[in-house]
Amino acid sequence: MQKKDELYRGKAKTVFLTDSDDKLVLFFRNDTSAFDGEKIEQLERKGEVNNKFNHYIMQKLEAAGIQTQVEELLSDAECLVKKLDMIPVECVVRNIAAGSMVKRLGVEEGLVLSPPTFEFFLKNDALHDPMVNDYHITAFGWATQDQIEEMKRLTFAVNNVLKPLFEEGGMLLVDYKLEFGLDADGNIVLGDEFTPDGCRLWDKETRKKLDKDRFRQGLGSVVESYIEVAKRIGLEL
Ligand code: ADP
Ligand code: UDP
């Protein structure tokens, strides 16, 4: 496999073309951003930690029958993935109220949500990722109703695999964000990443935040916490 031109540079990852039409390289940089790119810092080792974390989680999801982009871990900070035609929405499941839900609905952080909730957000930094619903997605042609149902089904299926995994490590999976895309055959496949940058994880006993809220809220020990999370679920980094 030969890495070729840069296709896209996001806030945290750079995407490269390869000599294979249907494969890309994701390069996980140390850049860490919050508040739609307003706060950006370089955190040592974060690219490597997230790349390996993401690969580990996606392998677990594959083993549970959820189709993911992952082909092969290439190096410390690079992963070979299937090229997907990304659907421009973020799929968020919440088990516990936190973050934007607390601000939007005035509920208390930590409220257990039963059943867990599902929300779509449009991927658009300039508009601050507004919440959208099924009607916006079909009316603007971002995805069909069948694709919407499949994204919801898969996002909840991920909860069934990862909630117990983190729970065994003494953590609560509070919420998480997933992105999906279409592969060459039109299948909905999990893309982007699952790392502590895109989810909330709290220690079950102390409720200590172990995810990107450490960066958002300036709590320190960001990458150290990600490494601890990995260790608790069986990944030594
Ligand atoms: P952002 O776009 O939010 O700044 P990143 O820095 O993580 O995010 O950039 C990664 C970009 O690559 C995102 O736009 C994401 O949708 C896209 N992407 C992730 N996985 C794939 C994939 N398998 N195929 C094509 N594009 C992908
Ligand atoms: N999230 C993300 N990228 C985004 C927005 C949210 O990965 O652009 C994740 C976030 O880390 C959290 C979940 O999605 O785990 C829900 O985020 P929320 O809507 O509470 O927004 P926030 O206040 O975190 O921006």
Atom 19, ligand 1: residue with shortest CA distance: 192
Q: Is residue 228 part of a domain?
A: no
* The pLDDT of residue 108: 98
Ligand 2 pocket residue status of 99, Cβ below 6 Å: yes
Does 164 lie in the same domain as 117?
Answer: yes
Question: 11: domain CATH number?
Answer: 3.30.200.20
Per-residue tokens: 157: 């299926």
User: Which residues span the domain enclosing 69?
Assistant: 3-82
Does 104 lie in the same domain as 27?
Answer: no
Atom of ligand 1 nearest to the CA of 69: 23
Of the chain, the end-to-end C-alpha distance in Å amounts to 26
Question: 201: domain CATH number?
Answer: 3.30.470.20
Last residue of a domain, one of 23, 51, 82: 82
Does 93 lie in the same domain as 50?
Answer: no
Q: Which amino acid is at 25?
A: V
DSSP, residue by residue, 154-170: HHHHHHHHHHHHHHHTT
* The pLDDT of residue 48: 98
DSSP code of residue 209:
B
Backbone angles phi, psi at 121, to 5 degrees: -130, 140
Q: Residues near 100 by Cβ (< 8 Å), separated by ≥ 6?
A: none
Last residue of a domain, one of 29, 55, 82: 82
Per-residue tokens: 121: 């957000």
Hunting for tokens 């079909």 — which residue is that?
Answer: 138
Hunting for tokens 């973050």 — which residue is that?
Answer: 99
Does 107 lie in the same domain as 47?
Answer: no
Does 186 lie in the same domain as 124?
Answer: yes
* The pLDDT of residue 36: 87
pTM score, whole prediction: 0.98
Q: Is residue 229 part of a domain?
A: no
Does 205 lie in the same domain as 137?
Answer: yes
How far is the C-alpha of 62 from the C-alpha of 30, rounded, in Å?
26
Q: Please tell me the number of the ligand nearest to residue 36's CA.
A: 2
* The pLDDT of residue 1: 83
Does 103 lie in the same domain as 76?
Answer: no
Q: How many distinct structural domains can be found in the chain?
A: 2
Does 64 lie in the same domain as 166?
Answer: no
Q: Which tens digits make up the pLDDT trace of 98-143?
A: 999 999 999 999 999 999 999 999 999 999 999 999 999 999 999 9
Hunting for tokens 């208390």 — which residue is that?
Answer: 108
Ligand 2 pocket residue status of 210, Cβ below 6 Å: no
Ligand 2 pocket residue status of 100, Cβ below 6 Å: yes
Q: What is the mean pLDDT of the chain?
A: 98
Q: Is residue 207 part of a domain?
A: yes
Does 18 lie in the same domain as 76?
Answer: yes
Ligand 2 midpoint to CA 19 (Å) = 34
Which parts of the chain sit beneath pLDDT 50? none
Atom 24, ligand 2: residue with shortest CA distance: 99
Q: Is residue 234 part of a domain?
A: no
Ligand 1 pocket residue status of 10, Cβ below 6 Å: yes
CA distance readout (Å), 3 to 21, 75, 82, 108, 153: 11, 12, 14, 47, 34
Q: Which tens digits make up the pLDDT trace of 161-177?
A: 999 999 999 999 999 99
The length of the chain is: 237
Does 190 lie in the same domain as 154?
Answer: yes
Does 136 lie in the same domain as 159?
Answer: yes
Does 145 lie in the same domain as 95?
Answer: yes
How far is the C-alpha of 177 from the C-alpha of 191, rounded, in Å?
11
Q: Please tell me the number of the ligand nearest to residue 94's CA.
A: 2
Q: Residues near 70 by Cβ (< 8 Å), separated by ≥ 6?
A: 54, 55, 58, 59, 62, 79, 81, 82
